[in-house]
């Protein structure tokens, strides 16, 4: 399915992106769900798939995590099934992410899909990331409040909700409508009838995550071996005092590590190209030989990227699933990052380079790209 999003991106970015929420009516005209509730339930039964059931009754909230064996015990109201990273496991659903590639790939995280019966929802809460919520089959009532400090509480250890809020958006959504919510805006949605919702979430790494990730890289690469020196140390009256200049020198030692562009780019490429959720990888058996790959591409076969695989460009290097693509064929690597499907025309003369063919074979044999048999 080729989903076409009716959105003036320039106006949206200027007026709404990370500024205020908005409902875009009929953003997808004639919207067709890429999967059924039964298919979503089937995914929630798989060990590798991250899923949860959220239900409430008389103010008592319950959360259970998949994989699930059965849904027969559930009633007809007040529960939701939520499945993360469906784009990794269901190719037709992954097509819903494509219209949002007007925003950078590195910011897009995954596609979460929920099925809710009447009254189903996860309660009032706010997120620390941008999200577009696409209404599929059924109707859902959404309330969104202004970005103001609200007390949070946990009605269940696996849920974090906020106190009641005054709504600035209070509307029903129908198939094809899209709700955009920036970080920090409280919201709650309840199904009015059996309903499917598709949430396109965005990554927003915290400074804690960045520092932790970079520290791991420094250790792994054995960087930062330079030690503190003070050849001009001065006597001081109070030996317990750490001089401001000494603190500055120590801080600069740490900043010098971050301020190495090549190392920082390599770390960030590895860090941001890693998926938060398991990938549906199927390495071929037996593995492909480079010559076989060359012949197949020359015969018109197309390579498809595995669902959810993150392929990103940082500087003049490309990274895939936490690894740098080491090649002199930068244009071909860039094509593989920009396109979900690649053929011999797109890869061009790089196919005549044995080292690039060897890289391509390694990527295919890892299950990152595949031929459709």
Q: Which pLDDT tens digit goes with each residue over 59-75?
A: 899 999 999 999 988 99
Task: Determine the 3-state secondary structure of 174 from DSSP.
Answer: coil
- What are residue 31's DSSP bridge partners? none
Q: Are 116 and 127 in contact (CB under 8 A)?
A: no
Q: Which pLDDT tens digit goes with each residue over 254-289?
A: 999 999 999 999 999 999 999 999 999 999 999 999
Which CATH class for the 9-202 domain?
mainly beta
Rounded to an integer, what distance in angstroms lies between the CA atom of residue 140 and that of residue 260? 49
Residue 93: closest CA among 83, 102, 103: 83
* Secondary structure of 63-81 in HEC code, one letter for each residue: EEECCCCCCCCCCCCCEEE
* Non-local CB neighbours of 19 within 8 Å, separated by 6+ positions: 182
| 286 prior amide bond cis, ω within 30 | yes
Quickly state the pLDDT bin for 144 (edges 50, 70, 90).
Answer: very high
* Strand 51-57 relative to strand 22-24, pairing: unpaired
In the chain, which ranges are continuous DSSP H helix? 9-15, 37-43, 91-94, 207-220, 244-258, 261-272, 290-298, 330-338, 344-347, 354-365
Q: Which CATH number fits domain 290-371: 3.40.366.30, 3.30.2350.10, 3.30.70.1350, 1.10.3720.10?
A: 3.40.366.30
Domain with CATH 3.40.366.30 in the chain: 290-371
Rounded to an integer, what distance in angstroms lies between the CA atom of residue 134 and that of residue 31? 10
Q: How many CB atoms lie within 10 A of CB 148?
A: 10
pTM above 0.95, yes or no: no
Domain with CATH 2.60.120.650 in the chain: 9-202
Q: Which pLDDT tens digit goes with each residue over 15-62?
A: 999 999 999 999 999 999 999 999 999 999 999 999 999 999 988 999
């Amino acid at each position: 399915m080729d989903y076409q999003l009716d959105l003036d991106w320039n106006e949206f970015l200027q007026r709404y992106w990370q500024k205020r929420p908005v409902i875009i009516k009929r953003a997808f005209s004639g919207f067709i769900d890429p999967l059924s509730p039964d298919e979503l339930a089937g995914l929630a039964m798989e060990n590798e798939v991250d899923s949860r059931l959220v239900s409430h009754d008389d103010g008592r909230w319950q959360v259970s995590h998949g994989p699930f064996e059965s849904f027969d015990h559930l009633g007809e109201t007040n529960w939701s099934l939520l499945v993360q990273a469906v784009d990794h496991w269901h190719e037709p659903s992954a097509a819903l992410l494509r219209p949002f590639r007007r925003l950078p790939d590195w910011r897009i995280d995954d596609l979460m899909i929920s099925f809710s019966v009447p009254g189903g929802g996860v309660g009032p809460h706010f997120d620390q990331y941008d999200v577009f919520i696409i209404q599929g089959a059924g109707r859902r009532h959404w309330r969104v409040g202004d970005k103001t400090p609200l007390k949070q509480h946990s009605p269940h250890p696996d849920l974090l909700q906020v106190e009641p809020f005054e709504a600035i958006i209070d509307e029903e959504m129908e198939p094809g409508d899209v709700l955009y919510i920036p970080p920090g805006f409280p919201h709650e949605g309840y199904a009015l009838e059996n309903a499917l919702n598709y949430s396109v979430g965005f990554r927003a790494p915290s400074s804690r995550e960045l520092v932790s990730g970079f520290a791991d890289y420094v250790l792994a690469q054995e960087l930062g071996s330079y030690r503190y020196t003070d050849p001009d140390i001065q006597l001081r009256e109070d030996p317990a005092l750490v001089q401001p200049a000494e603190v500055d020198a120590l801080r600069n030692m740490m900043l010098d590590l971050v301020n190495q562009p090549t190392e920082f780019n390599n770390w960030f490429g590895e860090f941001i190209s890693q998926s938060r959720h398991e990938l549906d990888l199927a390495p071929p058996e037996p593995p492909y030989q480079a010559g076989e790959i060359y012949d197949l591409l020359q015969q018109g076969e197309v390579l498809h990227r595995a669902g959810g695989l993150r392929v990103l460009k940082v500087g003049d290097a490309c990274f895939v699933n936490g690894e740098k693509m080491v090649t002199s064929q930068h244009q071909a690597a860039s094509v593989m990052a920009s396109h979900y499907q690649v053929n011999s025309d797109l890869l061009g003369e790089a196919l005549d380079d044995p080292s690039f063919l060897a890289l391509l074979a390694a990527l295919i044999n890892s299950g990152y790209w595949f031929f459709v048999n």
